[in-house]
Structure 1
């Protein structure tokens, strides 16, 4: 239902836009829970800070203000974005060495630390930056598929054609999430975030409105919302105010994380933490609807979740080739996108809110899957966490370490929690949950 989407993701908080905005919460812990002996880890990381991608309509049509210039081409990782991701890598490396997953004073053995990245520049360089941070001076780089011009099905299952959508079923799934009010009700459900976005953009003075048949009646929150799915079921998007507000609010956050001067971040119009929270509500809600709706999440996320599970479950080899992680791997890094994190959340029914970060899937944030062993009974368990930099840590370029860590939020898997083991999930039950979540016709090796 539209109301339930607002409840799940609308409460995500953020840090105020200042260096003094570091906040804490009972839900945010400084380090990993100690469940036993750590055996292996899969880190599914969103890429770092990038420049804005191409949008529909173009950003220049949405405001008469001049948008900031970026030092890289659209959609590319910036040097600062790489540096911020490398900080995450440094923290991961310190944690993994402390847990004796990686050698204390030598480079990892071949395949012990391995990364597979999507083919975009921002994901490939993110994978490299993470490896550089985890294992400095070891010369490791992320692997990726040979063709840079084709979609990798691990990260783009529907776009690649490996797992296309049934357009009618996709629309039914979205309608079921929205309830009786449907797409038409989104503008009223998210009236506050759309109204605030209109004010920040000064939308009525925008080229979009000036070119409309009735400029005086051009309002941001009266434009229709539409879901567009091509006949082949490969491409889907949400057009209209919520989709636009989602994209633009993320652009503002990227400007802030990139360290642009305050008067260039949303032209200096974002007032405080509550304002960030209001604006990013659109982004979180759009991702919840379009990436976490169960049918969509399963079609989009099955190859990735299968890859993760196989990496955690692997024995000496993987006869079904369900993972790119090599035999003997202990730390597997996936250079991914925010949509991938949202798909995994939808498949595993993971929910979270971040009191010091308005974006639920922020730049450089990662879902970390840890396999560990209880020495008492030699049973293996899987725990899941969201590890991320707060808004202040991104803005301040905070040097991360065991003493000054990123934020870590534990994410119990519904129906798969062992209270005696920190609400982790036994590996056997985790494998069962994953198998139930996969779209059978999309899983590799089937």
Structure 2
């Protein structure tokens, strides 16, 4: 049975179909009768082997990197199992909130899973489907192989009128420049150098820079931030995969050290998804899909994508993502943003609440069911319970228009 922590502390969860009786900050003594009627979860895929180039060519280490049991970028059996576990926990959470039945196959149209076209996203969707509705044959929807899905890869899909030069200018404003990021992260870069054990200057040389991509519809990041971010992620993946301690960073890093290095991986999103211009374009199609689902979609839909999708959505919502064991805005495998629509049975008023759902690193490593749910307070709303119209306006107003 999953252990849920950091649940909305003032919410009393009823059993079965009895509505939620909840008291929220600023509310009168008379409790609202809040009933969840829709939920959308935007999730990162499961634990995978390193991507091609994630450890850049020219990176120096004192010993060879440990081998993985699967090909590059593929979700591991351990990662699939972790997704099944968290899916069961999600099913029980939504059942306690009255949105889904506790067991059995969901009724047609109740639950949907949509994945990006990458094999790791599809495999993750299938593992999640097995966990959330075991033996029910719940299908994972996705586009054909080779197609680019604008929900998950909007820049590649040219889903918006993206201007790479405008993007670079906004990134520079938001971050203070790549040299400033390197200076800010000097301690973490030194720790990474120690873990690599090469004796100094382990990362490939090159000045940190961000520039328009070759096709003018993307950006290119180079230098220490780009190199260090991928390496930091590989070290975390080794730990989450359950590799022996002497293979996780060659035995030179522990969980707290990995959390520190997570700041280097989060730098990717400081550049690619969190600046206002990048967030508006990276979350454009995704945000509209969410708003559409809250109006007319299934009771519960999972959008299985990547950390860029989760962090872009967080930026569009103007929130940071913090969870125990991870650096701020470094979304772990299986980490997700849960968006719920609720209505008050007494008044008909509609609301939205948003949460960040993760599993602690040790739980992923040991395949335990511990799950953390952290409420997110949107600045546009000021409380955990956001009026529906305010949520729609806040998110919709931060999305770039679709390409004409």
What's the counterpart of residue 169 of structure 1?
Answer: 166
Name structure 2 gaps, 5 residues minimum.
13-21, 23-33
> What is the deviation of 1:105?
4.2
* Whole-angstrom distance in 2 between the partners of 1:77 and 1:409: 26
What's the counterpart of residue 233 of structure 2?
Answer: 250
Q: 1:233 aligns with which of 216, 230, 234?
A: 216
Matches within 5 A, 1:14-53: 28-29=6-7, 33=11, 35=22, 36-53=34-51
Q: 2:343 aligns with which of 366, 370, 373?
A: 373
2:154 aligned with 1:189: no
Q: 1:77 aligns with which of 70, 75, 78?
A: 75
What's the counterpart of residue 435 of structure 1?
Answer: 396
Distance 1:227 1:56, change over 3 A: farther
1:299-349 deviation digits (Å, cap 9, x = unpaired): 1110001101110122xxxxxxxxxx4xxx101011110010110111110
What's the counterpart of residue 15 of structure 2?
Answer: none
What's the counterpart of residue 96 of structure 2?
Answer: 98
What's the counterpart of residue 14 of structure 1?
Answer: none
Native 8 Å contact 1:157 1:164 kept in 2: no
SS in 1 for 2:70: coil
* Whole-angstrom distance in 2 between the partners of 1:387 and 1:152: 24
> What is the deviation of 1:100?
2.9
Q: 2:334 aligns with which of 364, 377, 380?
A: 364
What's the counterpart of residue 29 of structure 2?
Answer: none
> What is the deviation of 1:69?
1.1
SS in 1 for 2:246: helix
* Whole-angstrom distance in 2 between the partners of 1:343 and 1:435: 13
2:345 aligned with 1:347: no
Q: 1:198 aligns with which of 188, 193, 200?
A: 193
* Whole-angstrom distance in 2 between the partners of 1:116 and 1:24: 25
* Whole-angstrom distance in 2 between the partners of 1:374 and 1:345: 26
What's the counterpart of residue 123 of structure 1?
Answer: 121
Native 8 Å contact 2:115 2:125 kept in 1: yes
What's the counterpart of residue 285 of structure 2?
Answer: 303
Question: How many residues of Structure 1 are paired with residues of Structure 2 in the alignment?
Answer: 381
What's the counterpart of residue 55 of structure 1?
Answer: 53
Distance 1:298 1:355, change over 3 A: same
1:347-388 deviation digits (Å, cap 9, x = unpaired): 110113223334730000110001111223111111110101
1:215-253 deviation digits (Å, cap 9, x = unpaired): xxx574974112143243333342111121111111011
* Whole-angstrom distance in 1 between the partners of 2:221 and 2:376: 28
Higher strand proportion: 2
Provide the TM-score with structure 2 as the length reference: 0.88
Name structure 1 gaps, 5 residues minimum.
1-22, 206-217, 315-324
Q: 2:367 aligns with which of 397, 401, 404?
A: 397
* Whole-angstrom distance in 1 between the partners of 2:46 and 2:258: 19
Deviates more, 1:368-377 or 1:254-263: 368-377
What's the counterpart of residue 211 of structure 1?
Answer: none
What's the counterpart of residue 209 of structure 1?
Answer: none
1:9-37 deviation digits (Å, cap 9, x = unpaired): xxxxxxxxxxxxxx999xx3488945421
* Whole-angstrom distance in 2 between the partners of 1:330 and 1:24: 22
What's the counterpart of residue 312 of structure 1?
Answer: 294
Distance 1:56 1:43, change over 3 A: closer
* Whole-angstrom distance in 2 between the partners of 1:237 and 1:407: 34
Matches within 5 A, 1:326-337: 329-337=298-306
Distance 1:173 1:112, change over 3 A: same
* Whole-angstrom distance in 2 between the partners of 1:175 and 1:84: 38
> What is the deviation of 1:416?
1.7
Distance 1:57 1:261, change over 3 A: closer
SS in 2 for 1:437: coil
Q: 2:387 aligns with which of 391, 416, 426?
A: 426
SS in 1 for 2:302: strand
Greater length-normalized contact order (CA 8 Å, ≥ 6 residues apart): 1
1:39-88 deviation digits (Å, cap 9, x = unpaired): 11111110000000011663673324211111111111111101001111
SS in 1 for 2:42: strand
* Whole-angstrom distance in 1 between the partners of 2:63 and 2:343: 56
SS in 1 for 2:357: strand
What's the counterpart of residue 410 of structure 1?
Answer: 375
> What is the deviation of 1:260?
0.5
